[in-house]
Amino acid sequence: MQGKRILLGITGGIAAYKIAFLIRMLKKSGAEVRCIMTPASCDFISPLVVSTLSGNPVGIEFWNKQTGEWTNHVEYGLWADVLLIAPLTASTLAKMTIGNSDNLLLATYLSMKGPTIVAPAMDLDMYQHPSVKRNLLQLESDGVSVIPAESGELASGLEGDGRMAEPETIFTALSSFFQQTQSGRLIGKRILVTAGPTYEAIDPVRFIGNHSSGKMGFEIAKVLLAEGAEVVLVSGPTQQSLTHHRLEHVDVVSANEMFDAVKSHWESCSSGVFAAAVADYKPKVVASSKMKKSDVDPTIELIKNPDILAWAGQNKKSDQLVVGFALETEELLANGRLKLKKKNADFMVLNSLADDGAGFSVDTNKITILDAHNKQTEFELSSKREAAQNIVEYLIKSIQ
């Protein structure tokens, strides 16, 4: 933790008294600590204690009424390596999800350049409330890491989930956060990932699509981010969501839109992982108004879409690496080999719909990696997260 700049946000819950211990631990480990307290938290722990232990003035208001000095939330956001909010009350949680900035801590959260970690603390029933659960999920999808509350005796006398994680647990979570960001093997690399299906319009209400859930591509993006990479994720319509301060997410609908997004980002990326299930064909003519039912069965003429992976393979520089996917129902290896060559990929991730547990809507996958030197590596059936880790591991070894 030596030299790490930790901005600690304290909100008004009884667990605030435990923050004194956390500040001491952080200071002892060599971290620099600055604190922002919400006005409500000052009833639970004295700003004098927080200021004395952290060795820095405490920010509470936007401006100091005595001195007339302005406290700059933007400067706090630029200074900090991480913003840790502990304890996080239901009220501050709700305000964070809607971008409310009615106190110094919330304005700082919105100005943060680096990541935010929170440790919620509330009473049993509050913690179980659907709105709190929903807000925590929202915060996670906004890219905030949540250190879950623990189970135990609560200030109300009740017992159950809602107790703020102990200072030791928060300290450990922070240390592993710094370890992870320091040891990332893809720090400084920008990697493009395509994910999900594409929808090809027939008319304003109908399209040709496929069953791709986008899970595999999103899991790959998550593993790349955990390894420190910057990720450009170009995804077709999916239910998946992901936010991260190193993620640029480009939403597209059709293969042509995906192709445009890939072309405009490819130059700036050192590798591309093409996990999208791109529609090979699209209707030649898109009706401008809804097609009406008629007595004559319609025929939709299809024309080829651009092959995005093949374009990247043909347009890669010597230091760019291209990873393709091939989903086959038969002749997995022979078809995979053909695609690898045709699309000039560095390696292909093969999966067969014939394998149990592999395919679109399941959470597992069984992959084989085939590289340009005809080396073939088979992996056991695993979760899509583990499959993503195996693919990223292979990518890291290939670029070393």
Closest separation in Å from C-beta 273 to ligand CTP: 8
Dist CA 88 CA 148 (whole Å) = 11
Can you tell me which of 127, 199, 325, 394 binds ligand CTP, judged by CB under 6 A?
A: 325
Residue closer to ligand CTP, measured from CB, 109 or 274: 274
- Is position 305 an interface residue for ligand CTP (rule: CB under 6 A)? yes
List the interface residues with ligand CTP, window 172-201 (CB under 6 A).
Answer: 194
375 CB contacts (<8 Å, ≥6 apart)?
none
151/128 Cα distance (integer angstroms): 12
Is residue 395 part of the contact set for ligand CTP (CB under 6 A)? Answer: no
Active site residues: 210
Among 76, 171, 266, 274, binds ligand CTP (CB under 6 A): 274
Of residues 381, 308, 309, the one with CA closest to residue 351? 381
Q: Does 313 bind ligand CTP (CB under 6 A)?
A: no
The three-state secondary structure class of 253 is coil
Is 369 a residue that touches ligand CTP (CB under 6 A)?
A: no
Considering only 189, 339, 366, 384, the residue that binds ligand CTP (CB under 6 A) is 339
Which residue lies nearer to ligand CTP by CB, 20 or 201?
Answer: 201
Using the rule CB under 6 A, give the single segment among 6-14, 169-177, 231-239, 270-278 that binds ligand CTP.
270-278
Question: Which of 326, 332, 367, 370 is the binder for ligand CTP (CB under 6 A)?
Answer: 326
- The residues near 276 (Cβ < 8 Å, ≥ 6 apart) are 194, 195, 196, 197, 198, 212, 217, 234, 235, 236, 258, 308
Cβ(146)–Cβ(115) below 8 Å: no
Is 271 near ligand CTP (CB under 6 A)? no
Q: Which tokens belong to 146?
A: 């949540």
Helix ranges, 124-201 (H): 124-128, 130-141, 167-183
217 binds ligand CTP (CB under 6 A): no
Distance of closest approach, residue 311 Cβ to ligand CTP, in angstroms:
8
- Helix 215-226 to helix 384-399 angle (10° resolution) is 50
Is 190 in a helix, a strand, or coil?
strand
Can you give 255-290 as a three-state secondary structure string?
HHHHHHHHHHHHCCCCEEEECCECCCEEECCCCCCC
Q: Which is nearer to ligand CTP, 87 or 324 (CB)?
A: 324
* Residue 255 binding ligand CTP, by CB under 6 A: yes
If the CB atoms of residues 117 and 345 are measured against ligand CTP, the closer one turns out to be 345
Shortest Cβ 276–ligand CTP spacing (Å): 5
Among 36, 121, 231, 276, binds ligand CTP (CB under 6 A): 276
Cα three-residue angle 293-296-298, rounded to 5 degrees: 75
Does the footprint of ligand CTP cover residue 234 (CB under 6 A)?
no
Residue 318, classified by CB atoms within 10 Å of its CB into exposed (0-12), middle (13-18) or buried (19+), is: exposed
User: Which residues make up the interface to ligand CTP (CB under 6 A)?
Assistant: 194, 255, 274, 276, 278, 280, 305, 307-309, 324-327, 339
